[in-house]
Amino acid sequence: MNKWSDVLCKTTISTHVLEEIQKECKSKITVSFLESISKDIKNESDFEELERNVKQLKKSISKELFNTVLEELTEIKEDLIWIGSKRGKYIAEINDWAQNFYSEFRLHIEFEDILMGGHSERMVLFLTGKIKGKDAFEKLLQYMESKNPPYKILSHIEIY
């Protein structure tokens, strides 16, 4: 099973861009070269290799397509920096933690209007939404604590 955090960041050149590269290069491109610009970027070293390989394309593809590839590289680089940041690691950790029990959580009808995730300013597990009654609110807090959250729980929940 893929981790939810895996979809937070762009780690590859888009398939449609790779297909355009193939069309424009026709027989000038080898399978191994195509694989080298298609691989998943996990760290700075991978990115540097991708960047070197992409530079080789400049003379083989149109200026417009090359600029599109450069835009994709910029997005990959920005996401690589973000996921390595304190904030990126925090968001990824919250997502991966919640993934383990999210389906079970959604089975609780009384929690149907509750959202969980990161907070915009604090490093906490943030619960928001509305819930029917104090008993259901207490049940929610107990449930969340039973899942050993990676951060302190902070809530902004309307009890009706």
Q: Domain ranges in the chain?
A: 4-84, 99-159
The reported pLDDT for the residue numbered 27 is 75
pLDDT single digits (tens) 5-38: 889 999 999 999 999 999 998 878 888 999 999 9
CATH number of the structural domain 99-159: 3.30.1340.30
The reported pLDDT for the residue numbered 2 is 85
Q: Can you give the pTM of this predicted structure?
A: 0.83
Separation of alpha carbons 107 and 129, rounded Å: 16
For the chain, percent of residues with pLDDT exceeding 90: 91
Residue 1 predicted with pLDDT over 80: no
- Other C-beta atoms within 10 Å of 74: how many? 11
How would you list the strands of the sheet with 125-131, edge to edge?
114-118, 125-131, 153-159
